[in-house]
Structure 1
Amino acid sequence: MISKEERHDFILVKIKKERKLVMTELAAELGVSEHTVRRDLKELSDAGLLRAIRGGATLRSNLPFDIYDRNNLDVMEKQAIAEKSITLLKDHQVVFFDGGTTTQAIAGNIPDSLNLTVVTHSLPIANILANLPNISLIFAGGAFCKSSLTMQGQQTISTFEEIYADVSFIGVCSLDPYRGLTARTREETAIKRVLCKNSMNIVAATTSNKLDTLASFLTCRASDISYLITEKDPSDRILQPYVEQGITIL
């Protein structure tokens, strides 16, 4: 019989891929009773690894999955966001790129012909842009964070502090119209704050499942954000509270 540890591992891998699980389906796949699955989901929920709901479980929006996991989530949505985001870019701009898989998607859609100066602390984004002929790339070095593949610390912050950008693409952990843009750690928040402070236009580019959620550390108020870009149509009612904060929706 499959052990509890194996069941828990199976559930966590599956919920990262599917984002929502149904108890009856899990019981059938694992070959155990619904009572056993209910108990497993409660234990994982109590540990903060998922959110148990009636009849199953959903993914917690603030789980600290690493960038390799997140690269496989919401691929089509991120591509739609990237295509909208590129419309904000013009020749000879200075652009900040925060870390994250959505900002990576944006970087991957920059056309070869666009002439930009890009500043980033993200290793994947630097790698994407290094081969574009008209990109002047400034890499903000520092202490390497393995889970996000970004640099952190005072050295990173100092690089961004010395530069003013036309546009800043901020990686979103959580965004709420009334409680603002928030992040999970002090380290990433410190960098995001500098990117926001030194940019003419703050762009929050995010899949809609991160809207109306809250993390621990405040980056900026919602009203400080210039543009919110999601996969949704700008007229979608879920976006109306952000319009009321003065944000332009794309």
Structure 2
Amino acid sequence: MVTQTTNQTEIIYPDCDGEPMSDNTKQFRWIVTIKEGLEWLFKNDDNVFIAGDLLWYPVEGNNVIRAAPDAMVIMGRPKGDRGSYQQWKEANIAPQVVFEVRSPGNTQTRLDKKLVFYDRYGAEEYYLYDPDKGDLSGWLRRDGRLDVIDQMLDWVSPRLKIKFNMLGTELQLYRPDGEKFATYVELATSREQENLAKEQAQQELERSQQELKLEKVRSQQLAAKLRELGINPD
């Protein structure tokens, strides 16, 4: 009797594609601002996973079909660290929303391939921002395919409920509560200003309370002096 054995080579899904996260400081700043703004937006929802520059493998058994969006949102998957997003291990849920920030190194052909990838593998919304030219584009899945969003100004994402706008060439993203996506420096500065205002308000309150105490003491001293003179201060 001959026993046949089958040697199956384990497929490795690399965590890195060898590409840099960004080409310059401007692109990096926008990637971080968008990604961290999304984290802030969904910080209280444990069932929304946010990632930046993470490889997404949509097809089990194929480690060549992959993309690494600058930022992506997956609703229905728990937060947590991952080396890559292997869709078949994630209840086969594709990222619903993806973002790309264009850099000088992004050729049009490369961007076209990304659009085809996101269209083919199930993204519902795709947003592309070029900080150098101030261009903002978007695509929304309609009738089974990603279709161009004609007007991005004041556009509200169906999934995220965030509003897109432009101030000159600068992208403006607003949370549903009206708060603007901000850089860490902007948030830290705002926090410092709030703390300073609170400290000043507390100091003013303490000063007012001290003045009231002094006024009360002076009033009591005056009343006592009048009584010594036989005058009823009441």
**Greater gyration radius:** 2
Structure with the larger helix share: 1
User: Structure 2-normalised TM-score?
Assistant: 0.31
More RCO (CA 8 Å, sep 6+): 1
